Amino acid sequence: MSGIIKSSGLHIGVLGGGQLGQMLGLAGIGLGHRFSFLDPAERPPAAQVGRHIRAEYDDPEALERLVRECDLITLEFENVPEATARWIDQHAEIAPPPQALAIAQDRLTEKLFFQQQGLAVAPFVALDTAEQAQSAFAEINGPGILKTRRLGYDGKGQVRFEDSDGVSAGFEQLGRVPCILEGLVDFEREVSMVCARRADGQMAFYPLTENEHQNGILYQSRVLTDDPLQQPAQSACRAVADALDYVGVLTIEFFVRNGELLVNEMAPRVHNSGHWSLGGAVCSQFENHLRAILGWPLGSTKPHSAALMRNLVGAMPQPSAVLQLPGVLLQDYGKSARPGRKLGHITLLAADQTTLDAQSEKLEQALADTPFG
Ligand code: AMP
């Protein structure tokens, strides 16, 4: 990433073509750019807003085409092979930096990196063999979660345990792959921060959101106003982003325990908990990601009003049933329905928190009443 300010009318290549790519594309078309998305899926959501190069992420021909034809490459999927990002880095401009991707892909490396930045994390210990289960459990000394070091998402690649037998069983269940054992954090709430950083170090921070999960999948994110942890979270984000020479949007998820932040994980990309910013903030996370990688001035992260984002998982509602409610914005990713699959989201906006709570209840009612399909 050279940090040179880019013009408009560029061809931006994106590794991944899911809904995050779709929303990046929608924002970027408005800024005068066009897109190519590399994604092995047959018809990924982003194919609706740009050219789809259907290939594996390590396909040499597809990668050569991407660097030959695109002015700048970014990503929306964090499990792109590190080698792919590093190869692109040698032949074209890529942001965020491959180093950020490499760290985020491995829970152990990620935790050690956070500690190096002076950030608190949940107690953890690495587990590579079945023989280590007993001693690993003894170190944690209490219930916890066994997580695969790589390729976990939306609660996948995780098993809860109570004792060392549970660790052994979990290790088998996860396929005897390298794992980390994490002590269970008795958190009051989970929050995340989405921020954007340019190559020159300028940053913009969105307000923290409080996130609720169901079955390991994000269910709802509420935008927090004047939260006492906003500044500490910003400092943590700055420490991480500066250490990585980060360029683009970065997201950090935290547990809040005894009123203090523990870093859970980071995503080197736009994030589900920032979707509310599309329509709910002056400048969305998608536009700010593009502004950051282009070296353009970052946009205001200020919310227009009280806001929350509600994911639509497994089934979509009838649009008219939810759009009749005031303050509702609906985003449909155009994906086929499947249990546990994120198909779209609703952003709910209201003048104040009390009205937002009341509207949220009505929204839940409408979602419960409407025939899904
Ligand atoms: P992760 O994939 O690490 O974000 O984990 C998914 C979800 O599992 C988190 O959002 C938490 O709700 C829960 N979780 C993960 N790790 C822990 C932990 N160490 N203690 C308590 N809950 C956890």
Q: Mapping DSSP to helix (H, G, I), strand (E, B) and coil, where does residue 347 land?
A: strand
- HEC-encoded secondary structure of 279-331: HHECCCHHHHHHHHHHCCCCCCCCECCEEEEEEEECCCCCHHHHHCCCCEEEE
What is the second-level CATH architecture of the domain 1-94? 3-Layer(aba) Sandwich (3.40)
Can you say whether the dihedral through the CA atoms of 162, 168, 169, 174 is positive or negative? positive
Q: What angle do CA 315, 309, 345 make, to 5 degrees?
A: 30
Q: For the beta carbon of residue 227, count every other beta carbon within 10 angstroms.
A: 16
* Structure confidence by residue, pLDDT tens digits, 177-192: 999 999 999 999 999 9
Cα of 268 to ligand 1 centre, how many Å? 18
Nearest CA to ligand 1 atom 19: 184
Nearest CA to ligand 1 atom 6: 155
Which of 79, 121, 160, 255 has the most ligand 1 atoms within 8 A of CB, as the residue to mutate? 255
Cα of 144 to ligand 1 centre, how many Å? 10
Q: Rounded distance, CA 236 to CA 218, Å?
A: 22
Q: For the beta carbon of residue 143, count every other beta carbon within 10 angstroms.
A: 13
* Structure confidence by residue, pLDDT tens digits, 288-332: 999 999 999 999 999 999 999 999 999 999 999 999 999 999 999
Cα of 294 to ligand 1 centre, how many Å? 34
Task: Look at residue 14 in the predicted model and tell me its pLDDT.
Answer: 98
> How far, in Å, are 141, 254, 263 from residue 188 at the CA level?
21, 11, 14
Does the Cβ of 213 fall within 6 Å of ligand 1? Answer: yes
Q: What CATH number does domain 123-183 carry, 2.60.120.1060, 3.30.450.40, 3.30.1490.20, 3.20.20.70?
A: 3.30.1490.20
Structure tokens at 51: 């050219």
Which of 106, 110, 141, 145 has the most ligand 1 atoms within 8 A of CB, as the residue to mutate? 145
Amino acid identity, position 130: A
Cβ(121)–Cβ(263) under 8 Å? yes
Cβ(167)–Cβ(127) under 8 Å? yes
pLDDT at 242 over 90: yes
Cα of 230 to ligand 1 centre, how many Å? 21
Give the largest Cα separation in the chain, rounded: 59
> How far, in Å, are 59, 177, 215, 373 from residue 160 at the CA level?
36, 16, 13, 33
| pLDDT tier at 1, thresholds 50, 70, 90 | very low
Does the Cβ of 218 fall within 6 Å of ligand 1? Answer: no
pLDDT at 156 over 80: no
Does the Cβ of 217 fall within 6 Å of ligand 1? Answer: no
Cα of 255 to ligand 1 centre, how many Å? 8
Tell me the CB-side half-sphere exposure of residue 183, using CA atoms within 13 A: 14
**CA nearest neighbour of 217 among 105, 364, 363, 343:** 343
